[in-house]
Structure formats: structure tokens, C-alpha cells
Amino acid sequence: MSLPAATPIDPAKVIDLTHTFDASTIYWPTEKGFQWEKEVWGKTEGGYFYASAKFASAEHGGTHLDSPIHFAEGKQSVDQLTVQQLIGPAVVIDVSAACAKNPDYLASPTDIAAWEKAHGTIPAGSIVLFRTGWSSRWPDKKRYMGTDKPGDVAGLHFPGIAPASAKVLLDRRIRAVGIDTASIDYGQSKDFQVHRALYGAGIYGLENIADLERVPVTGATLIVLPMKIGGGTGAPVRIIAILP
């Protein structure tokens, strides 16, 4: 008895939402950048080509995942997140018009309410993504972060999510939250209330997402594939969306 063939995925419906990791990758001002070094690169004594390199990176930089333990003691680390948690229906809330007028904009409960008025209540288990339009500024660090000075945390200016919105998302029992800026808390945050509220509830985060304008507001499936770091508080991640 033969099994039915798997339904192939249309390659045209698969979108990469990941910024490339290289020398221009943006990290928090207190971190070193992405480091990549060729070790062997060329023709060997045997006459064939061989290439090998090494890299070093902070967990939180470039397109990456925050595991709940990043801001919640005792919660899941990267390796403890199940593959089921890393796949889910995408909800895209577009706040780019407001962010274009205010780099410190906080995505509000009103923004969520407007989305739900148009599309219905956010389904439980969704991966909610806030599109600020900031990925168009990548990799210009000054425009993206508000500052390009090493260590200048006080100079950070980019949009984030309002703490009141975190409470709404908790009520919706979402699986994860993401944004196309450097942090789910805006640049001027000093207490990281959104991180604390969501991660304390076991929700993970996605930051520095690329090209969210290519993902529809509903109907796409997100697949999140972080490096499986044992005990990791975060990890570089390859995010793809499968369009409806």
C-alpha cells in the first residue's frame, strides 16, 4: 500500500524574513558586531577547492529570537522551545504610518483594536508581528537605531510595543510576538515592561525581522528556526513565511 505523496510547497509563496549576518549586521550598542573569519579558503594539496570559516556573535543581534528566559527566570531557553511553538499563523499589525511620524511610537491597544475590527479577534496561538517600516532603514545603523555610537544606549530611538498592548496580547493567548525593529520595547525604554510581561508568560520574541511588508495581514504561516543553543537566552534565527 503506497502512501499519498506530500503536497509540495510553492516556492513562490515562501518568503525569507531574515537580514543577512555580516559585517553590517546591527547589534545593541553595548555588543560587538558579527564576526566572521576565513580559516581555510582555496585549493588544497589534493587539487580540490576547500573552504571553512568561523564566526562569533552575541545571542541578541541581527534577526534573532528572544527566549522567555531572557527576561524571566526559570522560563524556557532556546533549546527548550518546541518545534510546535516555532510554527504558527502570522498576524501582521501595520503601524508604519504612525511610526514614520514618530520614531518613538508605541504600538497601542487602539492599533490592535483597529486590526480586530477589520479581521476579527486575534486567534489564540498566533504569532503577532508589528510592522513599523523600520526594516527599510537596515543596515544604516544611525537611522535604524537612532545612534551609531558604541555604548550609546541613551541615544536609542526606534518604535516598539506599548506595555498596555502586551496585556491585550496576553489576553489573546498568543504564541509569540515580533517586530521589525531592534526590540519589542521601544528605544527609550528603561524598564523593558513588554519583555517582562510577555516573556514571563512564556511567550518568546522575534526582533529585527526583515521585509514584513511582503507578508499579508492574515493567512500566512510563520516558521521560526533559531540556532538551538543549550541554555540560550536568544539565538540568531532564520524566519520564513509561507503565504496563503
Domain extents in the chain: 11-21+58-242
Residue 164's pLDDT band, with cuts at 50, 70 and 90, is: very high
The pLDDT of residue 165: 98
> What residue has cell string 500566512?
220
Task: Please tell me the distance from the alpha carbon of residue 205 to that of residue 203, in angstroms, as a whole number.
Answer: 7
Task: Locate 131 and state its grid cell.
Answer: 510592522
Q: Which residues contact 183 (CB under 8 A, 6 or more apart)?
A: 158, 160, 189, 195, 207
Pick the catalytic residue from 60, 64, 70, 195.
70
CB 148 within 8 A of CB 179: no
Average pLDDT over residues 42-47: 96
* pLDDT one-digit tens code per residue, 15-42: 999 999 999 999 999 999 999 999 999 9
Count CB atoms within 10 A of the CB of residue 148: 14
70: annotated active-site residue? yes
CB 93 within 8 A of CB 177: no
Angle (CA) 172 173 175, round 5°: 120
* pLDDT one-digit tens code per residue, 77-112: 999 999 999 999 999 999 999 999 999 999 999 999
| Class of CATH domain 11-21+58-242 | alpha beta
3-state secondary structure the chain: CCCCCCCCCCHHHEEECCCCCCCCCCECCCCCCCEEEEEEEEECCCCCEEEEEEEECCCCECCEEECHHHCCCCCCCHHHCCCCCCEEEEEEEECHHHHHHCCCCEECHHHHHHHHHHHCCCCCCCEEEEECCHHHHCCCHHHHHCCCCCCCHHHCCCCEECHHHHHHHHHCCCCEEEECCCCCCCCCCCCCHHHHHHHHCCCEEEECCCCHHHCCCCCCEEEEEECCCCCCCEEEEEEEEECC
The pLDDT of residue 58: 97
Cis peptide bond prior to 8, omega within 30° of 0? no
pTM score of the predicted model: 0.95
Average pLDDT over residues 191-199: 98
